[in-house]
Each structure stands twice: as C-alpha cells, then as structure tokens.
Amino acid sequence: MVEAWSSSDDPGDVERKTDHELVEMSAENVEGRGQDKLSLSAWPSPVVPQGQHVNIQCHSHLGFDTFKLHKDTGADVPELHRSFQNSYLMGPVTPTHAGIYRYYGSYNYSPSVWSPLSDPLVVLCSRIYRKPSLLAQPGPLVKSGGYVTLQCYSDIVFESFSLLREVTKDPLQLVGQLHDGGSQANFSLVSMTIVHAGTYRCYGSLNHSLYEWSFPSDPLDIVITDECVQTCQPSSWRYRWDVLELGRYRW
C-alpha cells in the first residue's frame, strides 16, 4: 500500500494516509517520474557569507501552490515555521541557518496534505573563522595534461578543507593535516585542461560545525598554458564571487 504524509499544522507532525485517500500526493506519483523530482537550489550560492541573504528556490513540475522548508540538521530556525510560494529569502544568515534543507509541497485544494520530502540542499555559512591561504605547487601556470597541487593551509587547526572553483557546483574536500602548529590539505589536480582553468578559493571548517566555514582564501588563478594565447591573463576567467551561482550542492 502506498502511503503519504499529512498534517494540518506542520508536515513534521505527521499522520499516515492510505493510497485510497491521497492518490494525488502519494509517494509513487511524486517520485515515480524523473521529471517530477523535487529539488532545491540556492541563489546566488549555497555558500552564504554570515550576515548576507540567500534565495532558496523550490523546483518541481507538479505545480505546488505552497511550500514549507524542513531543516534536517542543527539548530531550529523559527522563521521556517510558515508556508511560502516557490522561493524563500533567508537571512541575514547566521550559523544557526547552516545545515541540510528539504521542502514539502502542497496544493490549495488540499492544504493539509503534503508531498514527500525533496532532495537535500546543503546551506553553508562562511566567514566564521580567519581565512586560510592557498598556493599552487609548482606554480599557477600549468601545462595542458599536466598536474598542479593546490595547498590550502592555516594557523588554525582546521579538521577539513574545501576547495571551490568559480562557476562549478561541487567542492573538493580533504581532511586537514597538522602542520607547523596549524593545518593544511594538498589538493592534487591531474590531467589538467582548459576546463580546469579559473579562479580557486579554499575554506576551512571544524568537525563539530561542518556547515560553518571560514572566510574564503584569497583568489588563486590557474592558467593552462598550452591552450591560452600569450596575451591571455588570469583575470579573464575571474567572476564576481558575490554573485556566483554554484547551483545544488552535493556532499
């Protein structure tokens, strides 16, 4: 028997309904077709500097009239205990907002019936700790097909480091290693091509607050030499970090 979830007040406070009662909102109907997959995105980025805002956008082809956000982890956010339409402007963001989010959808003609949860979105709050440093070994000019090691290091003992390239969706993450009283991580990038060129930054975080990141490192421009004319400058790939859209964030 197919089951869906229902609640008149809060989708977290649920009661079970059978498929005979809730045919339209059954998990089979919502999740059975790939084009109807429920998802979330964050604009301009899921990495949100403390004190700024982020627009959380709900995506579905099912035409829901009302949405509610559900936070899987961390501290409760009272402002989320209300419904909204299509998108929600969150902020000013604090460490309390950092965590994993999903949403429920509902229709006006059945406001007490809610869909299954969407796919997760991780929202990260940055600018919590001092920025780490980022450098390239042997250097930022990399021959096509070659390799480079991006070294992120800090005088803070970070337990995890994350490396992001502008206009990419997913970060690279490594466990921090103790080094000279601080910590560092070495990101080895091999078989480099023009698609790997661009501006990189890294962040540090601690295990007890994985969704709270440091200030970003200073930007580091990586240039692929064989596929760039002599007059090409690293800044030609630079984008404004404060309007960057990373899209859905995956762990």
**pLDDT tier at 22, thresholds 50, 70, 90:** very low
More confident residue, 6 or 52: 52
Residue 64 makes CB contacts below 8 A (sequence gap 6+) with 58, 105, 106, 107, 115
In the chain, beta strands by DSSP E = 3-6, 15-18, 39-43, 47-49, 54-59, 66-71, 87-90, 99-106, 113-114, 121-126, 133-137, 141-142, 148-154, 160-165, 172-175, 177-179, 182-189, 198-206, 209-213, 220-224
As a whole number of angstroms, the distance between CA 73 and CA 122 comes to 10
What is the reported pTM? 0.74
The pLDDT of residue 106 is above 80: yes
Tell me: the pLDDT tens digits for 67-91?
Answer: 999 999 877 888 888 888 889 999 9
The pLDDT of residue 16 is above 60: no
Output the pLDDT for position 155: 97
- What are the residues facing 200 on neighbouring strands? 165, 220
**pLDDT tier at 168, thresholds 50, 70, 90:** confident
